[in-house]
Structure 1
Amino acid sequence: MAPTSETLTAARILEATEEVLRRHGPAKATVVDVARALGVSHGSVYRHFRTKAALREAVTERWLDRTSASLSGIAAGDRDPEARLRDWFTALFTAKRHKAGDDPELFATYMVLIGENSAVVDRHIADLTGQLTEIVQDGVGRGVFTSAAPATTARALFDATGRFHDPCYARDWEQPGIETEFDAVVELVLRGLRA
């Protein structure tokens, strides 16, 4: 084991864990593999993450949080709510397509990890629907959208567009015409929201 010159942080461990998962997959990746990649003992990794399950949960959360963070700026903007909503869904679809297409091995690994960490997924969905709620509330406040219950409407919007962000549809995302289908669904939900 080569000594490491950098301070061991949770972020470094999570980066190394992603690489180990990419190489070995979730079934074969171990904490010892992560420690070896970092040049530290596995006990050092366990000081940051008490169990292998906690490490896998943290990696999953970090992966999902990247999407949430990229969308939060769109949701919090001051532009026209309809344009923000369209941009938000476009950014979500684009992010999910890139995750599935750019690194299919890691995407497949994360699908396994997501199955193990339903609480992480639930928090992610709550964050995303919270962002949508913010846009819908702003639209209602400006008289652009109509909704008696913005949080319920936000969840319905999220569910209605599931084909374009739920990983179970990843195979569809590279099909010819998917962008046209996406645009049609987004236009339909926007039409239903307009005041």
Structure 2
Amino acid sequence: MPATSQTLTAERILEATEEVLRRHGPAKATMVDVARALGVSHGSVYRHFRTKAALREAVTKRWLDRTSEALAGIVAEERDPEDRLRDWLRALFDAKRRKAGDDPELFATYMVLTGESGEAVPDHIADLTAQLTRIIEAGAEAGVFVTADPARTARGVFQASGRFHDPCYAPEWAQPGIEEDFEAVVDLLVRGLRR
């Protein structure tokens, strides 16, 4: 529906940008293409996003935030920290694998965009490690995990499980044995954290 019959919002622009990126790829997608998809002038898009780089950063952040938001529910649950840690790592792996497998063209586009990203990727990683920190802190408070520094431990868990969430490993996520490898790494991490 053209923007002339709806209020043009940043969210609508981001939705349209995602579709334009899917169709044209990051090398060919332009602000004019986004404006055309919305039925507005490109000046209207520039009023919300001053530059193409700002728009690309915002769409990358939106994409990454979807994963963070899905995982936040696990962090907030009041249940066994070990189960929450296992479920959080599983949910992260599943979310990244779905993104890579369900829409490979858009995933490839986002790989390009995350490479260009200014703050979106570091902010995403900081958010994910902060979520892990909260789970590990809960485990330490409950006497389930041993750690003197939950934030440092969370960074270690995040790095040690990287094969199952870092997009550079996406080609491996469909290979036979990946589930067994994931379970083995998670078991090792949990055993290392237990009192």
SS across alignment from 1:147: coil
State the superposition RMSD in angstroms.
0.8
Aligned counterpart, 1:31: 31
- Name segments (4+ residues, structure 1) moved above 6 Å: none
Cross-structure match for 1:70: 70
Please tell me whether residue 150 in structure 1 is matched to residue 150 in structure 2: yes
| Residue 54 (structure 2) aligns with | 54
Partner in structure 2 of residue 164 of structure 1: 164
- Quick one: distance in 1 between partners of 2:3 and 2:191? 60
Q: Which residue of 2 aligns with 1:177?
A: 177
Please tell me the residue identity of whatever aligns with 1:115. G
Superposed CA offset, 1:39-87 (max 9, x none): 0000000010011000000000000000000001101211100000000
Per the normalisation by structure 1, the TM-score is 0.98
SS state at 1:27 partner: coil
Which residues of 2 match residues 1-195 of structure 1 at below 5 A? 4-195=4-195
Which segment is superposed worse, 4-13 or 146-155? Answer: 4-13
SS of match in other structure, 2:173: helix
Contact kept? 2:57, 2:118, Cα under 8 Å: no
Structure 2 residues not aligned, in runs of 5+: none
Residues 122-170 of structure 1 show CA distances to partners (whole Å, capped at 9, x for unaligned) of 0000000000000000000000000010000000000000000000000
Structure 1 residues 114 and 3: CA distance shift in structure 2, 3 A? closer
CA–CA separation in structure 2 for the residues paired with 1:6 and 1:192: 54
Letter in 2 for 1:183: E
Question: Partner letter of residue 124 of structure 1?
Answer: H
In the alignment, the residues of structure 1 paired with residue 8 and residue 16 of structure 2 have an alpha-carbon distance, to the nearest angstrom, of: 11
For the residues of structure 2 that align with 1:47 and 1:188, how far apart are their CA atoms?
Answer: 51
| Cα separation, 2, equivalents of 1:4 and 1:182 | 49
How many angstroms apart in 2 are the aligned matches of 1:77 and 1:49?
36
The residue matched to 2:179 in structure 1 has which SS?
helix
Q: 1:113 to 1:39 in 2, by over 3 A?
A: same
CA shift, 1:4, in A, is 3.0
Instruction: Give, as a single letter, the amino acid of the residue that structure 1 aligns with 2:13.
Output: I
Deviation at 1:118, TM superposition (A): 4.1
Q: How many residues are paired up?
A: 194
DSSP-derived class of the 1:148 partner: coil
Q: How far apart in 1 are the matches of 2:17 and 2:113?
A: 12
Distance 1:139 1:47, change over 3 A: same
Question: Aligned-pair distance for 1:93?
Answer: 0.2
